[in-house]
Amino acid sequence: MADQSTDTNAVRRTIETVWRIESGRLIAGLARLTGDVATAEDLAQDAMVVALREWPANGIPDNPGAWLMTAARRRAIDQRRRREVLDRTHARLGREADERTADAVDAMDAAVDSALAAKRDGPSVQDERLGLMLMTCHPLLPREARVALTLRLLGGLSTDEIARAFLVPEATVAQRIVRAKRTLRAAQVPFEVPRGAAMVERLDMVLEVLYLVFNEGYAATAGSEWTRAELCQEAMRLARVVCALAPQSSEAHGLCALMELQASRLRARVDRNGAVVLLLDQDRARWDWLLIGRGQAALQQAERLARAADEPLGPYALQAAIAACHARARVASDTDWGRIAALYDALYETMPSPVVGLNRAVAAGMAYGPALGLAMVDALLADAQDAAMLQQYHLLPSVRGDLLYKLGRLDEARAEFLRAASMTRNTRERDLLLQRAGQGA
Amino acid sequence: MRVMVIVKATAESEAGIMPSTELLEAMTTYNEELVKAGIMLAGEGLTPSVKGKRVRFSGTSRTVVDGPFAETKELIAGYWMWQVKNMDEAVEWVRRCPNPMLSDSEIEIRPVFEAEDFGDALTPELREREDWMRRQTEAGQQ
């Protein structure tokens, strides 16, 4: 025992921290061994309860991860004994379940033994988190359930923390998680890490969930400043974990790059009065240059991997490349809009969504003049389906307003800014749009 | 929060004695763990202070002092930047670090200032000047 602290409060805080650090691996290891996410989480939490009882008296163990794994194993054995009693009572009904448990316990024994044999400073438990992520982001689950389950099992966030971050009642999040675990069990989704194309497809689901979490944090539409920043940080942390566990994935590095480059502008996005500052008006000295450096390095890695696999850049890497163009410009007027327009062309090819189309038009407008930008926006609106999708999107009138303003068509611009202001729910953004409407008048 | 984790120098590190293969291996494994935990942002090891220089400020005078510097235990031999949830998490990760030195050593954890931490020191006037300088720079670029 390394620490004989008798301060119960301090030990409790340490245990919370250990849970944050170890729970993902612990649950992942147990999920692989038992084949069931719900069982794994229960066993891990039971082990934590034992830790809460024993560590204040005995001190924090040297290798808390392996200790918790051992405690979880004991718990599984207890359950197995109970099942044996049950088995004798309901001989026919219980047998099959008991054999499965016995197999799982044997496998766990082996894993724990090897973990304990590993030297003190080595990895405490085999890292199975990638397999767990593929499960929590399984296509069988609804999107919100994937988000909640991933944050809960891999982010170590409590149900309450997730609920506060997404502005939904705690009971809703709890229910999503319970249902998700039930769905995985009912469908007998196997714990596996596939290879090749199947892996790329499954990994995309994981990346999508992480980007959803990041965007929830990045968008100024919900939650307090604090929870928003925390969500961004957690999404970035998990994306870095994915990069470390799936280092050959170009898109994993692309997503990491995209998040770090976007997050590098977080503190410059709002001025001291709380008003939104648009990208081109931001004080670039306030950008986070450590994150920009990391984002650029991750983007280079994504580009290298794509080249080596002889594949085009994926949507995350392309968006990161666009963000990197802004980061490279020391002042806004240095921005290489020609390159950004070309990158949007490539992005529009892989992701022909009207929103990407709108951004592509903005870039073209900056690179080749507002007339071309406006023509491209109006071409999007000529497509009935795109037009219907863009109808509710407040950035459409805001983009048209900007292009019309630059073309000197001030009355039309003013009408578009007013329309955009009436469509956004974000008061800071509304202020900005109304101000622009005033300029156009 | 972001923290700087500072590895303090020892007589050996100041003498330029390289760590053993065993220690290098343990530190590499530990660094991998930090990366896999998703908390590692940056980190470097520093050469002994004999290769360093100091610039002393006194009123308007500036004096350059060549290394090595005396107070070994207060010197820095390396650092990491980590993104962690709180100081507890940083402490827990440092606890897991192998002794980075061949003899007794110390690691210090210091939170990085957030912009808000500057509080009133960064006055509106200072910010105005920042803005003004930025506008001048941009005007020069156009």
Neighbours of A57 (CB within 10 A): 9
Q: CB-based contact (8 Å) between A74 and chain B?
A: no
Q: CB-based contact (8 Å) between B130 and chain A?
A: yes
CA distances from A332 to A283, A284, A366, A367, A435 (A): 9, 9, 12, 13, 21
Considering the domain architecture, whether residues B102 and B122 belong to the same structural domain is answered as no
Domain extent, residue B89, equals 2-111
Considering the domain architecture, whether residues B39 and B80 belong to the same structural domain is answered as yes
Amino acid (one-letter) located at B61? S
Q: CB-based contact (8 Å) between A66 and chain B?
A: no
pTM: 0.84
Out of A21, A286, A330, name the one closest to residue B89 (CB). Answer: A21
Q: Give the C-alpha separation, B138 to B127, whole Å.
A: 16
Question: Residue B42's domain is classified under what CATH number?
Answer: 3.30.70.1060
Q: What is the per-residue pLDDT across A80-112, written as a single tens digit (0 to 9) for each?
A: 777 777 767 666 555 555 566 566 656 656 655
Interchain contact, A236 vs B98, CB within 8 Å: no
How many structural domains compose chain B?
2
Interchain contact, B88 vs A239, CB within 8 Å: no
Q: Give the C-alpha separation, A279 to A268, whole Å.
A: 9
Considering the domain architecture, whether residues B128 and B68 belong to the same structural domain is answered as no
Q: CB-based contact (8 Å) between B88 and chain A?
A: yes
Out of A122, A127, A267, name the one closest to residue B29 (CB). Answer: A122
pLDDT for B141 equals 39
Q: Which of residues 99-128 of B touch A (CB under 8 A)?
A: 115, 124, 127
Interchain contact, B115 vs A244, CB within 8 Å: no
CA distance B39 to chain A (A): 6
Q: Which residues of chain B have pLDDT under 50?
A: 136-142
Q: CB-based contact (8 Å) between B55 and chain A?
A: no
Pick from A280, A212, A207, A217: nearest CA to A239: A207
CA distance A2 to chain B (A): 10
pLDDT for B116 equals 56
Considering the domain architecture, whether residues B88 and B37 belong to the same structural domain is answered as yes
Interchain contact, A331 vs B81, CB within 8 Å: no
Mapped to the 3 state alphabet, what secondary structure does A12-64 carry?
HHHHHHHHHHHHHHHHHHHHHHHCCHHHHHHHHHHHHHHHHHHHHHHCECCCH
Interchain contact, A238 vs B95, CB within 8 Å: no
pLDDT for A216 equals 84
Residues 6+ apart with CB under 8 A from A47: A26, A68, A69, A71, A72, A75
Amino acid (one-letter) located at A38? A
Interchain contact, B96 vs A121, CB within 8 Å: yes
Chain B CB contacts of A233 under 8 Å are: 83
Considering the domain architecture, whether residues B132 and B64 belong to the same structural domain is answered as no
The arithmetic mean of pLDDT across residues A186-214, rounded, is 93
Considering the domain architecture, whether residues B29 and B71 belong to the same structural domain is answered as yes
Interchain contact, A17 vs B88, CB within 8 Å: yes
Out of A238, A285, A291, name the one closest to residue B38 (CB). Answer: A238
Q: Number of C-alpha atoms within 13 angstroms, CB side, residue A272?
A: 15
Q: What is the per-residue pLDDT across B89-125, written as a single tens digit (0 to 9) for each?
A: 999 999 999 999 989 999 999 999 875 555 555 555 5
Residues 6+ apart with CB under 8 A from A416: A397, A398, A400, A401, A404
Kindly state the DSSP code that residue B110 receives in the 8-state scheme.
Answer: E
pLDDT band at A217 (very low <50, low <70, confident <90, very high): confident
Q: What angle do CA A103, A153, A49 make, to 5 degrees?
A: 75
Q: Give the C-alpha separation, A245 to A240, whole Å.
A: 9
Q: What is the per-residue pLDDT across A274-285, written as a single tens digit (0 to 9) for each?
A: 677 878 888 888
Q: Which residue is listed with tokens 């069988």?
A: A140
Interchain contact, A290 vs B81, CB within 8 Å: yes
- Rounded to the nearest 10 degrees, how much is the dihedral formed by the CA atoms of A217, A223, A225, A228? -20
Q: B87 to chain A: nearest residue by CA?
A: A17
Do residues A322 and A299 make contact, with C-beta atoms less than 8 angstroms apart? no
Chain B CB contacts of A16 under 8 Å are: 88
Considering the domain architecture, whether residues B17 and B44 belong to the same structural domain is answered as yes
Q: A247 to chain B: nearest residue by CA?
A: B36
For helices A250-263 and A315-328, what crossing angle results, to 10°?
40
Considering the domain architecture, whether residues B102 and B137 belong to the same structural domain is answered as no
Considering the domain architecture, whether residues B84 and B124 belong to the same structural domain is answered as no
Q: What is the per-residue pLDDT across A53-70, written as a single tens digit (0 to 9) for each?
A: 999 888 889 889 999 999
The answer, yes or no, to whether residue A147 has pLDDT greater than 70, is yes
CB pairs under 8 A between A and B: 71
pLDDT for B138 equals 46
Considering the domain architecture, whether residues B129 and B77 belong to the same structural domain is answered as no
Considering the domain architecture, whether residues B107 and B138 belong to the same structural domain is answered as no
What region, left, alpha or beta, does residue A213 occupy, with left being phi > 0 and alpha being psi -120 to 50 degrees? alpha
Considering the domain architecture, whether residues B136 and B101 belong to the same structural domain is answered as no
